[in-house]
Chains A and B, each alone.
Chain A
Amino acid sequence: MSAPVARAVGVTRRFGPTVALDRLDLDVEAGSLVGLLGPNGAGKSTLISLLVGLRKPDAGTVELFGGSPRDAANRLRLGMTPQETGLPDTLRIGEVLDFVSRHFPDPLPPGELLERFGLTGLERRQTGGLSGGQKRRLAVALAFAGRPRLVVLDEPTTGLDVEGRRALWDGVRAFHADGGTVLLTSHYLDEIESLAERVVVVAKGRVVADGDVDQVRGLVSVSTVSLRSDVAPPMEGTVRSERAGDRWDLWTTDADALVRRLVHDGVPFHDLQVRTASLEEAFLSLTDETEESAR
């Protein structure tokens, strides 16, 4: 098996008192399409900034194509998107593409790149005058300018309409079908679901789940069963629980089984509510589990 395209080994990164990454390990294999999923502040962006050489880890090592990402030569086959808010306003699309392309030995012809991202005919437009969706597409196109082998997309479809999102997804799939490796971050499950083969869930600076889409969907489809009771309800099958007076909130991946159990055990509950937990809550329950198992 070939060496991973990008790798983090035991990486810790602090910002003052905040621990953004906590002994995190991640291997991105050549040709894979990996989605990093996690709530805001989970450490996804910090991890990306280490992998592309913007920052140094406090402990542990990061590798890009087998070397240090801070070495420019190791970034030759890396494609990255700028935040579209940072595009140089007064420059034209053609000029920005030309500038970025000059950093690579064998860039894509600009016409091909523009066509692939639906920007044909806009070469002479200044980026400051583009719509939000066009800026976003230009930003993503820049990641593909140098014929990369690894493309890192940080929240790629934020601010895109449905059509733009679909076009972008098609572009990413085509690149991947061609053998390219993709690492993308998102806090939307559906985006990761429709693209990634492998999903890595990051929360509180650690990998809390790593598997294919189905496995992770199972892990993060959590329901909240809420009830009032003077006696403690059964805790088997719950991933997390909270109590406020006689109000119990139970997180579980199988609400049906939990309710059956409550009835079967004759727990004197009232005011029962069952609802789907948000992704944030699901992440929290995953994080709690890892903390338990770490103890």
Chain B
Amino acid sequence: MTLLAAHYRFQVLEQARIPIALVSSAAFPALSLLFFVVPFDFASSPDAATTAVVQLIVFAVMISFLFTFGVGVADDREKSWDPYLRTLPAPAWPRIAGRVLTGATFALLSIIPVVIVGALFTEATASPVQLLLGMLALVVAGLPFLFGGLAIGYSLPVKVALPVTNLIFFPISFAGGLLIPPTLFPSWLQTFSALLPSRGARDLVVLAVVGTPPDVVAIVVLAGWIAVTGALTVWAYRRDEGRRFR
């Protein structure tokens, strides 16, 4: 446990010293709320406003996970510090668990601004129970992005991981209904939307906080994405170990 704490502290410090990364991942969702939700009518309907805030929270978590794990892990793998750590008398798990905790911490920090903007400038509300349910749902909803990020990070060099992450995050968030509600989509986009991990993630957290029934297909697909990205992560990690440290 003390080793986990040491790795966690180390990685948090390392990221916190480059605040621009945190600022950008925290500012993006809050600004989206400010510009695309607050000025319009539905900011005054509690359910619609809460849904909009929840969507952007999922968006914030997704960005945070894809970048800290995808780009962050790829970057670490290329530094000679990583092999040095492997010569220290510690198994691999405190390092990996520390990395996951660090990602979760920064994801949590990055949702604070959007929650504040939502509470101050919209009619969005949630009871403590709804908040708690929402957090639990968010943990599950974040899994495909956690695993997806790790799979990218362990399988690609940073020069490829960065553009790949940039390329996938926007369409996934838009078509998954994280920026505008999927009820506004044309029917073909509705169908496509249900196949994305972001849609199931959104519907799950919206269900927990607002109570809107989810798209059942999207929830089933989300479970599938968690399984697939989880398996990809294990595969990518083993392959990377086998390549670099066989």
Contacts and interface: CB of A to CB of B under 8 A. Distances in A.
A185 to B, nearest CB: 15
Contacts of B87: 52-54, 75, 78, 80
B88 interface: yes
Interface stretch (A100-108, A272-280, A287-295): A100-108
B90 interface: yes
A56 interface: yes
A86 B84 contact: yes
Name, among A88, A100, A146, the residue most crowded by chain B CB atoms within 10 Å (CB to CB): A88
Interface in B69-107: 79-84, 86-91
Contacts of A111: none
B88 A95 contact: no
A73 B7 CA distance: 18
A82 interface: yes
Contacts of B17: 90-91, 126
Contacts of A80: 84, 87-88
Contacts of A158: none
A214 B3 CA distance: 46
Contact of B89 (A56, A73, A86): A73
Given A91-B13, A95-B10, A72 B90 contact: yes
B245 A100 contact: no
Interface string A75-99: 1101011110111101100010011
Given A72-B91, A102-B6, A53 B86 contact: yes
A126 B81 CA distance: 15
Interface string B14-42: 10011000000000000000000000000
A55 interface: yes
Contacts of A72: 89-91
Nearest to B83: A54
Contacts of A83: 80, 84
Contact of B90 (A52, A103, A126): A103
Nearest to A77: B89
Given A55-B246, A90-B13, A91-B14, A75 B83 contact: no
Contacts of A99: 6-7, 9-10
Contacts of A86: 79-82, 84
Given A99-B7, A102-B2, 4 more contacts: A55-B245, A76-B89, A103-B88, A142-B84
Interface residues of B, number: 24
Nearest to B94: A103
Contacts of B245: 54-56
Contacts of B9: 99
A149 to B, nearest CB: 12
Interface of A: 49, 52-56, 72-76, 78, 80-83, 85-88, 90-91, 95, 98-100, 102-104, 126, 142, 146
Contacts of A126: 17
Contact of A90 (B6, B18, B81, B246): B18
Contacts of A146: 89
A102 B9 CA distance: 12
B81 A54 contact: no
Contacts of B18: 90
Contacts of B13: 90-91, 95
26 contacts: A52-B87, A54-B86, A54-B87, A54-B245, A55-B245, A74-B89, A76-B89, A78-B87, A82-B81, A82-B83, A83-B84, A86-B79, A86-B81, A86-B84, A88-B10, A90-B18, A91-B13, A91-B14, A99-B7, A99-B10, A102-B2, A102-B3, A102-B6, A103-B3, A103-B90, A146-B89
A87 B79 CA distance: 8
A225 to B, nearest CB: 43
Given A99-B10, A102-B2, A88 B86 contact: no
Contact of A91 (B6, B10, B80): B10
B80 A56 contact: no
Interface in B207-223: none
Contacts of B81: 82, 86-88
Contacts of A74: 89
Contacts of A91: 10, 13-14, 17
Contacts of B246: 55-56
A266 B79 CA distance: 61
A277 B76 CA distance: 42
Nearest to A74: B89
B133 to A, nearest CB: 37
Nearest to B88: A103
